[in-house]
Amino acid sequence: MESLLNLENWFTLAMLVVLQAVLGFDNLLYISLESKRVEPSRQAFVRRMGIMVAIGLRIILLFVVLQAIQLFEAPFFSVHMTGIVEGDFNVHAFIVLIGGGFILYTAIKEIYHMIGQPDFAHEDTAIRRSVGAAIFLIVSMNMVFSFDSILSSIALSDVFWVMAVAILASGALMVLLADYVAEFLDRNRMYEVLGLFILLLVGVLLVSEGGHLAHLKLFGFEVLPMAKSTFYLVLFVMVAVDVVQSRYKNKLLAERKHEAALAKAAKAQKLEPAKGE
* Percent of the chain residues past pLDDT 70, beyond the cut: 77
Q: Residue 137, class by beta-carbon neighbours within 10 Å (0-12 exposed, 13-18 middle, 19+ buried)?
A: buried
Give backbone dihedrals phi and psi of 238, rounded to 5 degrees, phi first: -60, -45
Most confident of 26-35, 112-121, 234-243: 234-243
Residues pairing with 79 in the sheet? 87
Q: Is the pLDDT of residue 78 over 60?
A: yes
Instruction: Answer whether residue 242 shows pLDDT above 60.
Output: yes
Once rounded to an integer, what is the mean pLDDT over residues 101-128?
66
- Report, as an integer, the average pLDDT of 49-69: 78
Q: What are phi and psi of 86, to 5 degrees?
A: -140, 140
Determine the pLDDT at residue 23: 61
Order of strands across the sheet that contains 77-81 = 77-81, 85-89, 217-218, 221-222
In angstroms, rounded to a whole number, what is the distance separating the alpha carbons of residues 88 and 210?
Answer: 11
Residue 221 exposed, middle or buried by CB count within 10 Å (0-12, 13-18, 19+): exposed
- CA gap 55, 34 in Å, rounded: 17
How far apart (Å, rounded) are the C-alpha atoms in residues 112 and 34? 15
Confidence at 35, pLDDT banded by 50, 70, 90:
confident
For the segment 116-172, what is each residue's pLDDT rounded down to a tens digit? 655 544 444 445 677 888 888 888 877 776 766 676 666 566 677 777 887 788 778
Q: What are the residue ranges spanned by the domains of the chain?
A: 7-75+99-192, 231-277
Banded model confidence at residue 219, pLDDT cuts 50, 70, 90: confident
pTM of whole model > 0.85? no
> What mean pLDDT do residues 179-185 have?
75
Confidence of residue 65 (pLDDT cuts 50, 70, 90): confident
